[in-house]
Structure 1
Amino acid sequence: MSPADATQELHYLSIRDHIADRIAAAGLRAGDRLPSERQLQTSSGVARGTIREGLFQLEAEGLIYRKDRSGWYVSPPPVVYDPTRWEGFMSYVEAQGRRPSTETLSAEEIAADALLAEVFRRPVGAPLYLIRRRRYIDGRAVLVERIVVDAALAPDLLRFSLDQSLTNILKSEYGLAAARNQMIMQPCALTLREAEALRVKSGLPGLSVVRTSYDAQGRIIEFDQEFWRHDALKISVDIRVR
């Protein structure tokens, strides 16, 4: 690292600490707006680019977030999720005193490609439903998901409003209930499509969750790929040793 680069790093780290201290000193709460980048530049006397590096660092740490053309805000606390419990998004978010909501971005019938045919153990070209949704906590977009459902198990599924619980629709209308969930969770970088849907900067860290739900007969009833904001979710598992 060159001396100039080292100096730049020290500048934005000091700005990061300065902003964090201002949040604490001012008693700013979740959802409160930070001073503008121009105000921070004026009060600190450093370059606008350095200010942004400090803000990006705080964003990466999950302390603040951006709203398009609105500024920077203090991040709310993450919701706690236990993947071993049989609770849907709406249930566990509401149980923590938060306000969940769902927005359907698209819903269509597709033909199974080779990958999905293998996942669902169906022939290539078999009809499937592809649903893309954006989910919110307290009005802030926290995840986008891509759900695939076997059309043979849930005919005419798209006639329902998918802004509600899909799990409840499958259970009440088609008698489909999950008896087993297989989940894969890993950190990821949000690609352009997911980042735009979540209104964040492309390349920011996120959490990828892939869930395959089986009924008691071993049939796949949902194949769900979720992309979470990194600051919106905290995984907590209570394991009892026998």
Structure 2
Amino acid sequence: MVKPEPGSKSEGPHYMSLRDDVAARMARGELRFGDRLPSERDLQVALGMARGTVRQGLFQLEAEGVIYRRDRSGWYVSPPPVVYDPTRWEGFMAYVEAQARRPSTEVISVETIAADPPLAQVFARPVGASLYRLHRRRHVDERAVLVERIVVDAAMAPDLLRFPLDQSLTSILKSHYGLSVARNQVRMQPCALTGYEAEALGVKSGLPGLAVQRTSFDARGRVVEFDQEYWRHDAVRISVDIQVS
């Protein structure tokens, strides 16, 4: 049970005393990655706070990336973030496994669509050309960390939808269609997770996130894949290794 400690009370809003207490216990190793916090009701009783005040403290910790919620299970201490180098062409499954973590992919939907003007421009294809669009949710250690929308030119990967797309798309494109990436164009910016993204990741609407847009080209300059990812802000750490000649 989390109980307030002498001298740990915050001088700010009342809910900050809960935030400070949990953060202090994590710093001392009393709460570790993956540990489940007491229920909101138990925290309310132990700390003598109103339910709304307890929830404010928990939401503050969630916004800082310290804890996260699991549906119908409660609050847990957040695990370490995945280290992500956006300049490398390496599939999600590969770089997560390389960090001794357990990746998995959940297919939300797959469909064939007609290219609208923006997508036609991305792929240098006529408006109305056939494209495949995948919506997927990615997990690390059974925790949803990102949702993505991926678009692939159907002319370059015919019958792509017959493959099990909960596996590595990178490997499928390479092994079955001979499509390898020679260059990535990556754009990243902070965002707020709202609407579909917040619902898919099971987070409170407005929680900070990271939006990553990646356009992948082969050696001939053709677009192999157009990907839009929305990450939980506490699930990823960007690390780029640049060699200066």
The TM-score range, normalised by the shorter chain, is over 0.9
Cα distance in 1 for residues equivalent to 2:241 and 2:180: 24
1:237 is aligned to 2:240: yes
- Pair 1:25–1:42, CA change in 2 (3 A): farther
Cα-Cα RMSD: 1.6
Among 18, 21, 26, which residue is 2:24 paired with?
A: 21
Residue identity in the other structure for 2:64: E
Residue 68 (structure 1) aligns with:
71
Residue 116 (structure 2) aligns with:
113
SS in 2 for 1:10: coil
Q: How many residues align?
A: 236
Cα distance in 1 for residues equivalent to 2:175 and 2:205: 38
Matches of residues 208-223 of structure 1 in structure 2 within 5 Å?
A: 208-223=211-226
1:204 is aligned to 2:207: yes
Task: Select the structure that is richer in helix.
Answer: 1
SS in 1 for 2:155: coil
Instruction: Give structure 1 stretches of 5+ with no counterpart.
Output: 1-6
1:8 and 1:50 in contact (8 A); partners too: no
Cα distance in 1 for residues equivalent to 2:152 and 2:39: 45
**1:28 Cα shift?**
2.2
Cα distance in 2 for residues equivalent to 1:87 and 1:152: 23
1:47 is aligned to 2:70: no
Matches of residues 1-242 of structure 1 in structure 2 within 5 Å?
A: 10-24=13-27, 27-242=30-245
SS in 2 for 1:132: strand
**1:54 Cα shift?**
0.8
**1:120 Cα shift?**
1.0
**1:238 Cα shift?**
2.0
Residue identity in the other structure for 2:205: S
Residue 3 (structure 2) aligns with:
none
1:62 and 1:230 in contact (8 A); partners too: yes
**Higher mean C-alpha displacement, 26-35 vs 222-231:** 26-35
2:89 and 2:184 in contact (8 A); partners too: no
Cα distance in 2 for residues equivalent to 1:161 and 1:177: 19
After TM superposition, the score normalised by the length of structure 1 is 0.93
2:209 and 2:231 in contact (8 A); partners too: yes
Cα distance in 1 for residues equivalent to 2:27 and 2:221: 52
Deviations for 1:39-75, whole angstroms, at most 9, x for unmatched residues? 1111111211111111111111111001112110010
**Higher mean C-alpha displacement, 90-99 vs 232-241:** 232-241
After TM superposition, the score normalised by the length of structure 2 is 0.92
Cα distance in 1 for residues equivalent to 2:187 and 2:113: 24
Deviations for 1:151-195, whole angstroms, at most 9, x for unmatched residues? 011111101000111111111111111110000011100121011
Cα distance in 2 for residues equivalent to 1:225 and 1:164: 18
Instruction: Give structure 2 stretches of 5+ with no counterpart.
Output: 1-9
Residue identity in the other structure for 1:59: E
